[in-house]
Amino acid sequence: MPCTIIVGGFFGDEGKGKIVAHIAERDRPAIISRGGVGPNAGHTVQTGDKTYGVRMVPSGFVYPDALLCVGTGVLVDPRVFLHEVELLGVKGRAFVDERCGIIDQVHIDRDRGSDHLSKKVGSTGTGCGPANADRAMRTGRLAKDVPELAGYLMDVPAEINETLDDDDFVLIEGTQGFYISLYFGTYPYVTSKDTSASQMAADNGVGPTRIDDVIVVFKAYPTRVGEGPFETEMTPEEAKEHGIEEFGTVTHRPRRIGTWDGERARYSAMINGCTQAAITGIDRIDPACFGCTDYNRLSKAAKDFVQKAEKDIGAPVTLISTGPDIAHIIDLRKEL
Ligand code: IMP
Ligand code: MG
C-alpha cells in the first residue's frame, strides 16, 4: 500500500494523531503529508512521558526519517508552523507547499470578532474560515510570499508523486472529522472546507487512482467541540459516570461526549471509501482493556463492540487503540 490516507469518521478528535504516529513508526513512510483545513486542527501524540499537541506539523514527526509536509490545500499560519518546527526540532525535514494559503492576524481577528463564527458556529478562532474566504475571493497571500517561510517551501505534490513512482510509502494525514465537512457535515455547524478522504488527496495533489488505502478513525465514544447537532450526546453527568472528560487540544473547551452512532459511522465510511477502520478509546468500553496489544486478550465486551462497529462500518477494523500512548495499540494489518 504505497499511498494511505487517514481521516476522522465522526466530528474530529478521533485520535488520528496517535494512529498516524503508530503507522509512521511501524511502516516507515518516506513522506507524511498533512491535508485538511489548517491550524484549527489539534493532534495529540503521547510517547513515553512526553505529550505533544501539534496543529501544523504532521503527527508522524515521531518517526525521524520521514519528510514532513503540509499539502497545497492546507492553510498555514507561519507563526504556528515555525514554532512547532522549532519545538519538535524538525528543521530540515519539514516543508510547506509554496501555494498554501496564509493565515494572517487579520483573519484571526475576523474569526474571533464575528459573532456568527465564534458564537453561532463555535469556530476555533484560528482564522481558518476568513482565510479560506479570502482564498476564494482571490485576495489572500500564499506561502511563497512570506519571507519567513523561504527555507521551507516545496512543490509537495511533485515530491509525493515522485515518491509513489519509486514505490515508496506515502502517508496522508487528514484532519478534522467527516461530520464537520463543509459539504457532508452538519451545515452550518461545520468547518470551512470538505474533510473527506477525497479532499485529503486533492489537498496533496494526489489523483484518486493513486490512493491504495483509506483508514477511517472512529472513536468508541464520539465527541464534538463547538455547536451543532449530536444525536447520541450524553449529559455531562452521564459522561462522567463513564469516566469520560475531554478538552480540546486547540481551544481547551470541554468536548461534548456521545455514544457510538452506527448510522453515522456507516455513512461516513461510505463517502470516505473506507478500506480499513481504526477504533480508538476501546478502554472506555471496558477499562480492563487498557494498554492491551493483543486482540485475543480483549474482553468479550470489547470484542463484541469491535464486531458491531465492523458491521456498521462495512470494512474490517484493523487498528484498535487501547490507551493514549503510541504503544497502546492492537495492529491487525498485514505487514507492508
Ligand atoms: P473552524 O474550523 O475554526 O471555523 O470551526 C468550525 C467548527 O469546526 C467548530 O465547531 C470547531 O469546533 C470545529 N472544528 C474545527 N477543527 C476541528 C478539529 O480539528 N477538531 C474538532 N473540531 C474542529
Ligand atoms: Mg483534535
Rg (CA), the chain: 19
pLDDT, averaged across the chain: 96
Residues of the chain above pLDDT 90, percent: 93
Q: 158-169 b/e with 16+ CB inside 10 Å = b? A: ebbbebbeeeeb
Query: Which bound ligand lies closest to the C-alpha atom of 13?
Result: 2
pLDDT of residue 130: 98
Handedness of CA 171, 172, 174, 178 (dihedral sign): negative
What Å distances lie between residue 17 and 105, 145, 307, 326, CA to CA?
27, 30, 24, 10
Backbone φ and ψ for 119, nearest 5 degrees, come out as -100, -55
Indicate which residue of 22, 27, 43, 111 is catalytic: 43
> Which residues in 99-230 belong to E strands, given as ranges?
153-154, 170-177, 213-219, 223-224
Q: Indicate the pTM of the whole model.
A: 0.97
Residue 1 has pLDDT above 90, yes or no: no
pLDDT of residue 47: 87
Residue 208 has pLDDT above 90, yes or no: yes
Residue 274 has pLDDT above 90, yes or no: yes
Interval 122-140: pLDDT, tens: 999 999 999 999 999 999 9
Q: Which residues line ligand 1 (CB under 6 A)?
A: 12-13, 37, 40-42, 121-124, 126, 128-129, 175-176, 180, 189, 191-192, 225-226
> Quick check: 20 and 158 in contact, CB under 8 A?
no
Contacts of 309 (CB under 8 A, 6+ apart): 218, 220, 260, 262, 265, 277, 279, 317
Our answer to whether residue 43 is catalytic in this structure is yes
Q: What is the dihedral of CA 53, 54, 58, 59, to 10 degrees?
A: 0
Residues of the chain above pLDDT 70, percent: 99
Our answer to whether residue 22 is catalytic in this structure is no
Place 324 in a pLDDT band, splitting at 50, 70 and 90.
Answer: very high
Q: Show the cell assigned to 94.
A: 519539514
Closest by CA position to 147, among listed 78, 94, 70: 78
Interval 64-105: pLDDT, tens: 999 999 999 999 999 999 999 999 999 999 999 999 999 999
Interval 242-263: pLDDT, tens: 889 999 988 899 999 999 999 9
Query: Which bound ligand lies closest to the C-alpha atom of 45?
Result: 2
Place 336 in a pLDDT band, splitting at 50, 70 and 90.
Answer: low
Nearest CA, atom 2, ligand 1: 191
Sequence-ordered alpha helix ranges (H) in 174-251: 197-203, 236-241
> Quick check: 128 and 39 in contact, CB under 8 A?
yes
Interval 212-253: pLDDT, tens: 999 999 999 999 998 999 999 999 999 999 889 999 988 899
Interval 146-180: pLDDT, tens: 999 999 999 999 999 999 999 999 999 999 999 99
Compute the distance between CA of residue 140 and CA of residue 277 in angstroms, rounded to an integer.
37
Place 335 in a pLDDT band, splitting at 50, 70 and 90.
Answer: confident
> Quick check: 320 and 16 in contact, CB under 8 A?
no
Angle made by CA atoms 56, 58, 64, in degrees to the nearest 5: 130
Nearest CA, atom 10, ligand 1: 226
Placement of cell 477502520 in the chain? 277
